[in-house]
Structures are given as structure tokens and as C-alpha cells.
A and B are shown apart, each in its own frame.
Chain A
């Protein structure tokens, strides 16, 4: 069974840092790109960051660029999100998701097919 399990969430003061982890099982982690997505009651779902299967390409939403860093450790089937300079608006449930490479008429694209249960980050003084 494909499974993603996030951890590392907690309560942190504004300006603080936190590192989220996501451990994968049930598939060959190194064959897939991965993403972080967050959800707040007020703003719905927001894609945060993604990393390719090789780790060579990393992309970020404008809202976190320069503050968050995505990384992976294939030997541990693990995905990470290092969050710094945290703000109140970063408060959310953070999910990791598996990216699948699809193909349509010779064009390649990504979609997310499996999500973890999430870990909650609260930024508050």
C-alpha cells in the first residue's frame, strides 16, 4: 500500500523555524517527484513547493520563496520542508503528496495521486 506520513509540525513563534518530514512507503520513492501542499480553513488548498525525482529541480510558491527549502533523501524514502522566518499566515495543515508524470500526445505533465494525512503548523506568539 502506498503511504505517506508527515511529521514535524508544532507551535512556533513568528520568525521561528520548523522542519517537516514525510516518510514514504509502498513504492520506489526515488522514481517520483514530490510536493508539499498546505490547507487553511480560510484559503483552501495551496501548493507550496515541489521537487523532481532527481532532486535537481525545486520550485516554490511565491508566498514561501526565499523562506522555505524542499529537499529529499532517497535512502530514507524521505521528503523534507525546512521552514524559516515563519509568519502567522503560514499556519496550516501541511500535506506531502506524490507527483506522477503523465503523458498526453507527447507532452508531459504532473499530477498528484497520493497524499499523506498532514501535519499541523501553528505560528503564534
Chain B
């Protein structure tokens, strides 16, 4: 099986930058998305194709990748960004695989 590892939690002060890493073997060969999920709600796509933002997603959300690690960065974090974040990888052999999830707390 293929595993994507994320830190269980990240804490950030309002206005500061939160970074969430997602690591997996040869992750750079796959296509990575990031989802935000608030309590009681469905996941919302915030980043696709490693770095692209869907329409309607604030530009404080950005994605990057290097080697086996993809990173979601939230710049100028706001209280409304408090949520669980999941990375997801896709390739033709695996289809979709989700990361373990990271709870972002805005202190």
C-alpha cells in the first residue's frame, strides 16, 4: 500500500504562516491536491496539481513540492482557516490516496 504522512497537528497565531507537509515515496511523480475540512462539513478542494488554486479559494493558500514532500502554506492565517487539512495523491496505478490529515489550530 502507499502511505502519505502528515503531522497530526499544527498550531499558528492569527496573521502568521502555517505550513503543512505531506510526504510519500516518489510523491513528485504523482499529482497532489489539498482539501480543507471544517467540523461537520464536507472536504473542500483548496489546491490541485500541486500548486493551483480553484476559483474562490483565497490566495493566502498556496502549494509547493520538492522531491517526496508536498507542502500547503497558509499565509496570514485567519481564524476561519481552523480546520483539518488532507493531502491527496493520484496516479494511474494507485488512483487516489489520502494523507493522514492535519488539524490546524489558530491560537
| Chain A residues in the interface with B (C-beta under 8 A) | 35, 37, 44-47, 50, 59, 61-62, 95, 102, 104, 109-118
Interface string of B62-81 (1 = CB under 8 A from A): 00000000000000000000
A115 to B44, CA, bound (A): 7
Beta-carbon contact of A102 and B96 below 8 Å: no
Interface size on B, residues (CB 8 A): 22
Beta-carbon contact of B86 and A109 below 8 Å: no
Query: B31 contacts which of A47, A59, A109, A116 (Cβ < 8 Å)?
Result: A109
Q: Is B105's CB within 8 Å of the partner chain A?
A: no
Interface residues of B in 19-62 (CB under 8 A from A): 31, 33, 35, 42-45, 48-49, 54
Q: Contacts A109-B31, A112-B33: A45 and B86 contacting too (C-beta < 8 A)? A: yes
Chain A residues with Cβ below 8 Å from B43 are 45, 95, 115
Beta-carbon contact of A113 and B54 below 8 Å: yes
Chain B residues with Cβ below 8 Å from A116 are 42
Which residue of chain A lies nearest to B32 when distances are taken between CB atoms in the complex? A111
